[in-house]
Structure 1
């Protein structure tokens, strides 16, 4: 991986939803200015999620996600729709292409996106091929309660309006999330305890370690690192106790046993759960452990946020 690139998890994810042959792939090509997605008049050309990473002036690093049509049919079509549903889980802003018709499916997808608090931008594509685009747009607004942006991906008209709509829908905290939050400030000494095992191939560090280290340097912290077996020697060599110690969850107990009483302790996994996940929900959910009984049924699933 290019360490100078922005990881996908840190990019704004913009997914494009719509019926088969509604112009989703043409729109993503117009938005990115590249032939990112295969375009064809044959319905069902997009058979899987297509991701395109890029930088947009005023928005920053983005991932555009082209999805299969949500009206696909047959057994294979159901599998494609399942992939489209998966895209919702990592969507920050949704572009929903609308067609002239009953709009029942579009309404269902709007409800599904709204239930996840995902901003939705309605788009009426192919304006160059519609004689009464304004009438169609008015009907979409009446049925769906939102005014669609009229565009022609082929003619590249209306694309700037889409960019502006995305800017208005940006999450209020977009680009402001931090890994370490208020745990440290400028001048604090931070110790990173990083076991070097099969998860960290020779010659490189794993991404969470690199991201955390970079943020600490940006915050003007003093950063020290060591492996678990050198923790005691490292602490002895320091002139003061670290403000914060960050370690791998697999050696958390050992590090806790050796850490100075005044030092805060956390793990890379916990920091990443707060950075990319819903750690407050995780904390609330952990409280349920105290109410378990011998009759309780438990589902355990590994979810590595990094």
Structure 2
């Protein structure tokens, strides 16, 4: 079942440390499976390796086994960079320490984890060979760092390590995520408007729509899914006004015109702006659209790589809408997947997708990084509602 959980709602746990400290053995011990190659040869793990696992009561998680922080040579440096890049989508980290104790490598990664505000745990591995040195224990205690002693060879203290991981997990991963369930009461109608166009996947709905529909059911709402041309007929047939109408952003202007102002209205993407990120900050970022000038560069952030259709929302429609709204000659660049530019400051605005394929930590971290570097950020749905002139109505249900 854990393999079927959406990637964007998994807790990501990353194992970092030097070569040959037993990261691969530890991930095998935690999961109870031989999922990572184990060898006494340093540098066995090259690219980050992902393993899905059900860690109750947290639910589905992904463990990442990474290359050693002390990998050498030109290729080794690339492996280290790949390992550090994984931290940008990490919810919790295990800093694995071997017989040599805590060195400058571990201290550097600990500083990096604290800068990124990633909770972490130091794991003294190979406890069957030697106890951690007093100086290393003192270092953890002096710096208020939680630590555990384990032996993957003897399978000792693995259960305690799992307990520490659960205890250290971010609070939002322990609680039920807030998507739409607080916007209606049990038994109330929720109308979902889902247009079917070239970008719609054949034979299925897109992930945000599926997650919202499941959230409606989980909260005992009555979900009705329609196309955009069925709005008036559907509302007329309901015995009472729906508690909420949720629409795809691409048709929000049409839907807003046909749904009476007394009925709460929002978009799937706006729900995800709250669920995965920081809705007030993304709302604030959308206001930057009014200040754009000729030649300004706009970053379009896509969480997933996909086949580009002729009416692609991020690459075609949003640029066209922004140019029309602003009347300016704007430049657009697309970064897909987990790529995010290092020279972020050259962009006047970042417009990000809903982030359904990212976990919340990575999305929040991207928002924080934009804020730290003085670059406004918004998301597809919020930006579209802005240029369509309905943003104030779309965010009204959230009482911002």
**Taking structure 2 as the reference length, what is the TM-score of the superposition?**
0.69
The residue that corresponds to 1:204 in the other structure is 204
Aligned to 2:191: 191
Equivalences for 1:43-192 in 2 at 5 Å?
Answer: 43-99=42-98, 100=100, 103-130=103-130, 132-135=131-134, 137-138=136-137, 140-141=139-140, 146=145, 148-174=147-173, 175-192=175-192
1:286 matched to which residue of 2? 286
Counterpart of 2:284 in 1: which secondary structure?
Answer: helix
* Alpha carbons of structure 1 residues 108 and 195: separation in structure 2 relative to 1, 3 Å: same
Number of corresponding residues: 303
Question: Bigger CA drift: 54-63 or 121-130?
Answer: 54-63
For structure 1, list consecutive stretches of 5 or more residues without a partner in the other structure: none
The match for 1:220 is 220
For residues 196-215 of structure 1, the C-alpha deviation after alignment (integer angstroms, 9 at most, x for no partner) is 23443332222211111111
Q: Deviations over 1:84-106 (max 9, x none)?
A: 12211221111001242662121
> Does the residue aligned with 1:127 lie in a helix, a strand or coil?
coil
Match of residue 6 from structure 2: 7
Contact 1:122-1:146 at 8 Å conserved across structures: yes
Task: Name the Cα RMSD after superposition.
Answer: 2.5
TM-score for both structures, normalised by structure 1:
0.89
SS of match in other structure, 2:4: coil
Q: Between the two structures, name the one with larger relative contact order (CA 8 Å, sep ≥ 6).
A: 2
Q: Report the Cα distance in structure 2 between the residues aligned to 1:133 and 1:181, rounded to whole angstroms.
A: 48
**In 2, are the aligned partners of 1:190 and 1:221 still within 8 Å (CA)?**
yes
- Give distance in 1, aligned partners of 2:75 and 2:13: 25
Query: Unaligned stretches of 5+ in structure 2?
Result: 302-351, 357-400
Partner of 1:28: 27
Report the alpha carbon displacement of residue 257 of structure 1 after superposing the two structures with TM.
1.4
